[in-house]
């Protein structure tokens, strides 16, 4: 018996798959499974986070429904994966937030912060909200840079702390690698596998979503979202260095590095989440974890809102719309930060940890 019914079912499926082994070439899950004869809760959570939900093992399986064995690996691992986020959440008292972290919560958080910033500005000087502000320091007419940095720095640091603590608990629970140790080569291999989304390819043919015709669409939209996020993060980091090291205040001209990085990232953050949302709407219900639908959509919506308001801010920053748009953009970023440890964002961190573990095990087995 395992800690949850989902893990009991995952154990049953992995035991069937370990006898069958038809899917061993599809992804990392099956080779990792084959290294084990029995599965602890930690093993099953490791395998669940190693799964990239490409759907191939459902389409290829001769035991999938209506067969009496009722083998549905992608869906069972999707549910186990989502339950693992709550099981390892830090602090544990907030683990229930995963069940509630949907679109409504994210939007309320974003709009509340936007309203707070607008109220803050209006209290100081009402005319500043819809005024036209240009040149270095224009953004800080709405809220002084130090207040902005303190507010967002605290939210970001909390998110990092909560994520580090939860992935630490996950890493400990999945146990020591079979015959291996942590090493730089495994981390590098995991970075390559994650950067390429190597296991979202259904064994080389593409990802299955709405039918039995594989495509690379989900992979493409996931890449746009991930690299869009990375570029926006890089833009913010470069702007922070400009501010503190060079004494240069935002906004910057369109040809400057933070704006170029932010523009490319913003385009990714608009197209990627829209594509992923459209793919989710079309996804075969047999593969969907319906209970976590809100968590997925909420995270996608925050990424989209961040990208969209960032792009609009770039275009309209020298007009009277700058104040409300900046407040909305900052509200979206704030909501993204505070929901990060309790929403879909964590899938990237846990999956990366699982890929490191898998790379360790493969290097040892080689």
Site residues (vs ligand SF4, CB under 6 A): 16-17, 20-23, 26-27, 29, 51-57, 60-63, 71, 73-74, 77, 199
Which residues, 6 or more positions from 117, have their beta carbon under 8 angstroms from its beta carbon?
142, 143, 326, 327, 330, 331
Question: Tokens standing for 170?
Answer: 């996950």
CB of 96 to ligand SF4, least distance (A): 27
Q: Cβ closer to ligand SF4: 64 or 339?
A: 64
Q: How far is the CB of 342 from ligand SF4 (least distance, A)?
A: 24
Residue reference for tokens 């290097």: 363
Report the alpha-carbon angle 300-301-306, nearest 5.
Answer: 100
**Which residues neighbour 136 within 8 Å (Cβ) at sequence distance 6 or greater?**
248, 249, 250, 251
**Whose CA is closest to 285, among 200, 211, 218?**
211
* Closer residue to ligand SF4, CB minimum distance, 97 or 207: 207
For tokens 């395998």, name the residue.
47
Residue 283 C-beta: closest distance to ligand SF4, Å: 12
Q: In angstroms, give the least distance from the CB of 28 to ligand SF4.
A: 7
**Residue number, 73 or 167, with CB nearest to ligand SF4:** 73
**Judged by CB, which is closer to ligand SF4: 21, or 282?**
21
Q: How far is the CB of 64 from ligand SF4 (least distance, A)?
A: 7
Q: Do the Cβ atoms of 43 and 11 come closer than 8 Å?
A: no
Give the E-state strand segments of 16-146 in sequence order: none
Nearer to ligand SF4 by Cβ, of 45 and 309: the residue is: 45
* ω into 292 cis (within 30 of 0): no
**What is the Cα–Cα distance from 240 to 246, expressed in whole angstroms?**
9
Q: Return the number of the residue (202 or 331) whose C-beta is nearest ligand SF4.
A: 202
Cβ 284 to ligand SF4 shortest distance, Å: 12
Residue at token pair 């909390």: 158
> Cα 114 to chain center, whole Å?
23
Q: Give the C-alpha separation, 269 to 314, whole Å.
A: 14
CB of 365 to ligand SF4, least distance (A): 18
Contact 52, 27 (CB under 8 A): yes
Q: Give the residue with the Cβ less far from ligand SF4, 71 or 295.
A: 71
Quick one: 14 or 325, whose CB is closer to ligand SF4?
14
Give the count of beta carbons closer than 10 Å to the beta carbon of residue 144.
13
Separation of alpha carbons 24 and 265, rounded Å: 36
Residue 60: CB minimum distance to ligand SF4, A:
6
For ligand SF4, the closer of residues 23 and 322 by Cβ is 23
Dihedral pair phi/psi, residue 207, rounded to 5°: -100, 140
């Amino acid at each position: 018996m395992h800690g949850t019914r989902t893990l009991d079912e995952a154990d049953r499926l992995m035991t069937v798959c370990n006898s069958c082994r038809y899917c061993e070439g599809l992804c990392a899950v099956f080779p990792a499974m084959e290294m084990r004869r029995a599965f602890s809760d930690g093993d099953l959570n490791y395998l669940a986070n190693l799964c990239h939900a490409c759907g191939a093992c459902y389409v290829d399986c001769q035991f999938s429904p209506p067969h009496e064995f009722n083998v549905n690996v992608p869906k069972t691992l999707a549910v186990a994966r989502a339950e693992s986020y709550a099981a390892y959440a830090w602090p544990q008292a907030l683990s229930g937030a995963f069940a509630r972290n949907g679109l409504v919560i994210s939007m309320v958080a974003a709009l509340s912060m936007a309203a707070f910033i607008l109220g803050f500005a209006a209290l100081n000087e009402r005319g500043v909200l819809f005024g036209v502000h240009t040149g270095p320091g224009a953004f800080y007419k709405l809220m002084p840079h130090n207040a902005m940095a303190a507010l967002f720095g605290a939210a970001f640091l909390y998110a990092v702390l909560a994520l580090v603590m939860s992935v630490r608990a996950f890493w400990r629970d999945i146990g020591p690698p079979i015959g291996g140790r942590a090493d730089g080569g495994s981390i590098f291999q995991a970075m390559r596998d994650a950067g390429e989304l190597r296991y979202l390819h259904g064994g080389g043919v593409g990802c299955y979503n709405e039918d039995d015709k594989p495509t690379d669409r989900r992979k493409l939209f996931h890449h746009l979202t991930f690299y869009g996020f990375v570029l926006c993060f890089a833009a913010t980091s470069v702007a922070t260095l400009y501010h503190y090291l060079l004494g240069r205040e935002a906004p910057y001209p369109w040809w400057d590095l933070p704006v170029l990085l932010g523009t490319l990232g913003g385009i990714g953050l608009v197209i990627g989440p829209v594509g992923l949302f459209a793919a989710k709407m079309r996804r075969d219900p047999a593969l969907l974890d319906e209970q976590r639908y809100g968590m997925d959509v909420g995270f996608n919506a925050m990424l989209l809102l961040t990208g969209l308001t960032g792009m609009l801010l770039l275009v309209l920053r020298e007009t009277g719309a700058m104040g409300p748009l900046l407040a909305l953009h900052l509200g979206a970023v704030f909501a993204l930060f505070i929901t990060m440890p309790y929403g879909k964002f964590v899938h990237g961190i846990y999956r990366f940890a699982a890929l490191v573990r898998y790379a360790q095990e493969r290097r040892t087995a080689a």
